[in-house]
Amino acid sequence: MPAPRALLLPALAACLAASPPARQPVDLLISGGAVITMDPQRRVLTDGAVAIVRDRIVAVGATRDLERRYAPRQRIDARRSIVMPGFIDGHGHAGHGLVKSLGMDTEQWYPATEAIYAQGSTVDFWRAEAFLTGAERVRFGVTTALAYLGGGDMVMRTDATAYGDAYLQAMEKVGLRFFLAVGPRRPPFPRRYTQWTGNTPRSVDVTFAQQLAVSESLITKWNGAANGRLHVAIASPTQHPRALPQAPDALAELVSQARAARALAARRGVLFTQDGHAQGSVQYAHEVLDILGPDVLLSHATGMTPAEVAIVARTGTKIVHNPSANAAMRERFTLTELLDAGVTVMLGSDGVAPDRSYDMFRHMFQAMRYHRFYARDPKVLPAGKVLEMVTVDAAKALGLEREIGSLEPGKKADVILVDASRPHMMPAHMPLYRIAYFANGNDVRTVIVNGRVLMRDRRLLTVNEDSVVASAQREADAAIRRTGLERLMETPDGFWGRSRLP
């Protein structure tokens, strides 16, 4: 005899209450790793997971909890790995990837790069360099970077939009989150460039107004492109009080141009940046040029006086510290003073030439050693602070603190997995210290930007690496040949058997 309906309903309700809720679909679940969140609590999850839908993180927590809540379309097993936010590199130079070591240990490196960028480079040169350094960054776990389109303070390849177009097209394909800094060269103007059609060169003279117009065109076309991954910043040459022109007209022109570049950045709502600051230049930028502010990022800024530290703090200006750069050897970078004053400081590689790489593990370690040496104090610049300087602090310096820099629900899914099982990374204790002191770029196993997997298990997925390196070699050789700089590939006198170079 069938059970009465009145008896079945309570039993059915009890069964439904006891059954687990349906798991929510997600696009990707990274699970089983040691997760360094860099969230406000700086949580480290021993057996953690990250759930991703499209380009955003939707949950970060214990693997057991997230496995119960989510049904992933794709999984990444993070056991034996450290999962953390992708690194952010605040200062590099487009073009430098193809001139590494050229004229090294001589006085010829800077003139060589100026000749190559202004006279010997083609659109294909810039495209090949972007693919090469984009691939290098991905391999080293750099998910966001800023680079000047050339030498920064001397040569900017903004005589036509084609160079910036080619560079950003390549970065779009590689898949990075990327800022390309463009702007005018240092006066006087006009400046001469060589534009190539095949093997045929054509010299063109370019004015300040033309370079500024090209820069604005690149903003219009590229800023916010690629689902918000690509950004254009405005760069302006740094002015050092000891090297100012003496003629009143030339000085007035310099001030006018700096303010015009700054005004363009403010009007278009983009980052404004300068390379090569040193003692006195920060105060000059504030008191004479009036160009500092919370949307400004100054690079190097070595030897700052107490007055300049106060200016930076008061204006909300951000600073990029490049501990591996030559500038950091010549004058001390006043990091502790800046941090104690509340200034946001991020790390930069100043890569990749003449003698550096985009391996931010290397630059974190260099920063700690650099400041502890100067202070003669091993307690200066704790590992936790230097990790902040390549993640959360770096995101704030670029104006992206709500989007990247930590693994939190709602933020962009920029995630790296670092192999924690290699001999130099064992035993599997204290992942924060292993990342800061023992890891290197070649330990990065998997890279995700905007929810898209760019590298998995050390295999690049967005570009053909063999083609990238072949194109890079071909374009570097051609640029050196065009400028007649083959001699700078020779080992210089004094390389062997001396205590110092002549």
Is residue 59, in this structure, part of any structural domain at all? no
Question: Is residue 210 one of the residues assigned to a domain?
Answer: yes
Q: Which residues pair with 50 in a beta bridge?
A: 30, 60
User: What's residue 1's pLDDT?
Assistant: 47
Type of residue at 213: A
* Measured CA distances, 359 to 22, 143, 422 (Å): 43, 12, 18
In a domain, 463, yes or no: no
Say which CATH number the domain at 173 has.
3.20.20.140
Q: Name the token pair of 249.
A: 């007209």
pLDDT of residue 500: 93
Instruction: Decide if 35 is inside a domain.
Output: no
Residue 196 falls inside a structural domain: yes
**What residues form DSSP beta bridges with 24?**
70
Domain for residue 52, yes or no? no
DSSP alpha helices (H): ranges in 238-300? Answer: 248-268, 281-284
Where is 211: in which H helix or E strand? helix 208-222
* Structural Rg of the chain based on CA atoms: 25
Determine whether 10 is exposed, middle or buried from the number of CB atoms within 10 Å of its CB (0-12, 13-18, 19+).
exposed
Cα–Cα distance between 36 and 44 in angstroms, integer? 5
Give the pTM.
0.95
Which residues span the domain enclosing 379? 86-406
Residue 427 lies in a domain: no
Listed as ranges, residues in the chain with pLDDT below 70 are: 1-20
Tens of pLDDT, residue by residue over 374-408, are 999 999 999 999 999 999 999 999 999 999 999 99
Domain count, the chain: 1
Q: Give domain status of residue 130, yes or no.
A: yes
Q: For 247-270, how does the pLDDT look when each residue is reduced to its tens digit (9 = 90+)?
A: 999 999 999 999 999 999 999 999
